[in-house]
Amino acid sequence: MSEQATATHTISVLVDNEAGVLARVIGLFSGRGYNIDSLTVAEVDQSAHMSRITIVTSGTPQVIEQIKAQLGRLVPVHRVVDLTVECESVERELALVKVSGKGEARVEALRLSEAFRARVVDATPESFVFEITGNSEKIDAFIELMTPLGLQEASRTGAAALARGPEPM
């Protein structure tokens, strides 16, 4: 089993938006030793009090199957879908990236941000806060490029994801 290759999966979980539901999900991951690369959660249907939790995790196929089954047996969980294997999906993450600098570095940062279609949401004579949206790899790349140009800090949302096509999951 341990010889199987690990892979990254994005798992979408629809849950009742009730007290403690996020703690149940996180506790399951920590208690059973699964990885969480990123996790996002927010209410997506106010009238039905439903939230969507999007978890990016990694593991062998057997571990991923276990994660799905373990999530599925939590009482407030309605649906669990592995967006990586069960369907085609789109995935986006948003990040705010603060870069400080003067002169050529500042100009270079602004130029690169345009190439990445990032937006300036705050500016001072010696800093920018960029807003960038894309898949996680794109954001990784942007942050890496900003590092020598005066990267101060970044805040990332983690991945949000949906299945492609006309149907809900």
The binding site for another protein (CB under 8 A) comprises 1, 15-16, 19-20, 23-24, 27, 31, 62, 65-66, 69-70, 72-78
Q: Smallest distance, Å, CB 40 to another protein?
A: 20
Q: Smallest distance, Å, CB 17 to another protein?
A: 12
| C-beta of 1 vs 115, nearer to another protein | 1
Q: Smallest distance, Å, CB 55 to another protein?
A: 16
Q: What gap in Å lies between CA 146 and CA 153, rounded to an integer? A: 10
Those residues with Cβ within 8 angstroms of residue 19's Cβ, 6 or more apart along the chain or in another chain: none
Q: What gap in Å lies between CA 2 and CA 45, rounded to an integer? A: 39
Question: What is the number of other CB atoms lying within 10 angstroms of the CB of residue 165?
Answer: 10
| C-beta of 76 vs 157, nearer to another protein | 76
| C-beta of 20 vs 168, nearer to another protein | 20
Place of tokens 């949906």: 162
Tokens encoding 15: 């849950």
